[in-house]
A and B are shown apart, each in its own frame.
Chain A
Amino acid sequence: MQFLTSSIGRKILMAITGLCLVLFVMIHLVGNTTIYGWIPGGVNAYAHHLHAFPPIVWIFRAVMLAIVTVHIGYGIQLTIENRGGRPQQYAVKATQKATFASENMIWTGLLLLVFIVYHMLHFTAKVIPGMQLVTDAEGTVNVFAMIVSGFQNFFVSFIYVAAMVTLFLHLSHGIQSFFQTIGWNNDRTLPVIVKAGTLVALVLFLGYVAIPLTIFAGILKG
């Protein structure tokens, strides 16, 4: 499989898995907004439907794990290779086009990995110490209450917002990078794609941080 060892091939896998993750992040956000109650039963009903058929949940989780593994695995591998591309750094380096986001993809990526682990321990496994879970008679967790009580904690909200800043940085480079890597780009589209990518990242950022902020500010109450 020359494709899997080639420079561009691995980049393309990074791009495609990255796109899958961006789509996941988008759908995830749409799901999160059910907390505002725009579907009957709100986020509780949404969570319930999502987990209604466990085999699908597990298949989905396995696929996501594979995607994340490929994305992170190649990300680390390519970064190590790229660091080797210039063993001796310049004493002075004038950056002309690169951005903080583009130069720190590995760090924003790894921070996001840490966050995802924490996030799943928090809201999926629900094992973060100090969590107050409200369950109904059948033992189903009240997701709405769990989220609201969680984000009323300053540190929980802070970590979440910080993670979303990281996500914004990662995506502001990542989304436009996808189009370039996959080859759907030229000199006319590039500036548009760069701006649109940043805009999408910004919309996602605002969408995600709106939840902890509205809770923390007391607008959304338990």
Chain B
Amino acid sequence: MSDHKTMTLTLIVWRQKNANDPGKFETYSAKNITEHHSFLEMLDVVNEDLINDGKEPIVFDHDCREGICGMCSQVINGAPHGGQDRTTVCQLHMRKFKDGDTIYIEPWRARAFPIIKDLIVDRTALDKIIQAGGYTSCHTGGAPDANSILIPKPIAEEATDAAECIGCGACVAGCPNGAAMLFTSAKVSQLALLPQGKIEAAARVKNMTSTMIECGFGNCTNHYECQAACPKGVNVKFIARMNREFIKAQFA
């Protein structure tokens, strides 16, 4: 239940005017924050103060604010999305912090995610990976009756586990190598598990993984930081599955 205690926090926020600006940290004070503020609402409060002072507010990506669109993208005290299990920044609440805390807020940092401004990065590289093969090449219309393809429930469930990915890029932000393996493997696995996707599985895994490297992402070295960072709990078993698919593809 609500109480009327408020917190004051010190924010150390990455500010960068544009892609060419070297950027630097600025320190702000977030006042009158209650435990019921979401992290983004806390930033809203700081921004309203900044605007009223005639200063430029901190820009950050956000949209649905209910943990599903994948827009929000902040590294908070070194952890993508703040490190709460299965939680995006927008669903992280200030009760996870204490009065007087100092909070570092940084953008996703990876070669493949150039910074656009402040905490906003360019994640179109993830789109490019999907464009390389993250689909079944079915045509609109002309699909057979949905129940003509039977899928065992455990397989359907596992495909859904993979399909939970919201494409936020936290896996890349958390990976010491800036790799996009968890992201790529989630889509590869979802489609490789389903009969509809098996037909193009070999070409898909080759094309998607090579695009992944062309986009500037690093390689996987099995730290599993990606899984820890993932707000949807996508499991690294899908990376193992993608590796398997990759080996199979060599013989296809």
In the assembled complex, which residues on chain B have CB atoms less than 8 Å from the CB atom of A7?
Answer: 209-210, 212-213, 219-220
Is B104 interfacial (CB-CB < 8 Å)? yes
Check B109–A11 contact: CB distance below 8 A. no
Question: Interface residue tally of chain B, by bracket?
Answer: 35 or more
- Nearest CB in chain B to that of A194: its residue: B224
Is B38 interfacial (CB-CB < 8 Å)? no
Check B176–A82 contact: CB distance below 8 A. yes
Pick from A32-40, A48-56, A94-102 the stretch touching chain B. Answer: A94-102
In the assembled complex, which residues on chain A have CB atoms less than 8 Å from the CB atom of B25?
Answer: 91
Q: Which of A74-130 contact B (CB under 8 A)?
A: 78, 81-99, 102-103, 105
Is A182 interfacial (CB-CB < 8 Å)? yes
Is B167 interfacial (CB-CB < 8 Å)? no
Question: Is chain B's binding surface mostly helix, strand, loop or mixed?
Answer: mixed
Check A6–B218 contact: CB distance below 8 A. no
- Nearest CB in chain B to that of A86: its residue: B178
Provide the bound-state CA to CA distance between A173 and B179, in Å: 18
Q: How many residues of A contact B (CB 8 A)?
A: 45
Q: Which of B157-202 contact A (CB under 8 A)?
A: 174-179
In the assembled complex, which residues on chain A have CB atoms less than 8 Å from the CB atom of B12?
Answer: 91
Pick from A158-166, A184-192, A209-217 the stretch touching chain B. Answer: A184-192
Check B177–A86 contact: CB distance below 8 A. yes
CB distance from B160 to the nearest CB of A (A): 14
Given contacts A9-B246, A12-B247, are A97 and B212 in contact (CB under 8 A)?
no
Is B120 interfacial (CB-CB < 8 Å)? no
Check B209–A85 contact: CB distance below 8 A. no
Check B109–A182 contact: CB distance below 8 A. no
Number of A-B contacts defined by CB within 8 Å: 143
CB distance from A19 to the nearest CB of B (A): 14
Is A181 interfacial (CB-CB < 8 Å)? yes
Check B222–A180 contact: CB distance below 8 A. yes
Q: Which of B78, B111, B206, B247 contacts A92 (CB 8 A)?
A: B78
Provide the bound-state CA to CA distance between A176 and B236, in Å: 13
In the assembled complex, which residues on chain B have CB atoms less than 8 Å from the CB atom of A93?
Answer: 78
Check A91–B243 contact: CB distance below 8 A. no
Residue from B110, B217, B218, B229 having most chain A Cβ neighbours under 10 A:
B218
Provide the bound-state CA to CA distance between A183 and B213, in Å: 19
Given contacts A86-B110, A86-B177, A97-B225, are A11 and B237 in contact (CB under 8 A)?
no
Is B92 interfacial (CB-CB < 8 Å)? no
Provide the bound-state CA to CA distance between A40 and B224, in Å: 48
CB distance from A6 to the nearest CB of B (A): 6
- Nearest CB in chain A to that of B240: its residue: A185
Check B79–A96 contact: CB distance below 8 A. yes
Is B77 interfacial (CB-CB < 8 Å)? yes
Check A92–B222 contact: CB distance below 8 A. no
Check B222–A176 contact: CB distance below 8 A. yes
CB distance from A18 to the nearest CB of B (A): 12
In the assembled complex, which residues on chain A have CB atoms less than 8 Å from the CB atom of B112?
Answer: 85
Check B75–A90 contact: CB distance below 8 A. yes
Given contacts A89-B109, A176-B222, are A103 and B176 in contact (CB under 8 A)?
yes
In the assembled complex, which residues on chain A have CB atoms less than 8 Å from the CB atom of B245?
Answer: 183
Is B140 interfacial (CB-CB < 8 Å)? no
Contact with B along A177-206 (1 / 0, CB 8 A): 101111111110010000000000000000
- Known contacts A92-B78, A94-B78; 7 additional CB pairs below 8 A are A84-B216, A88-B109, A90-B75, A92-B106, A95-B225, A103-B223, A105-B221
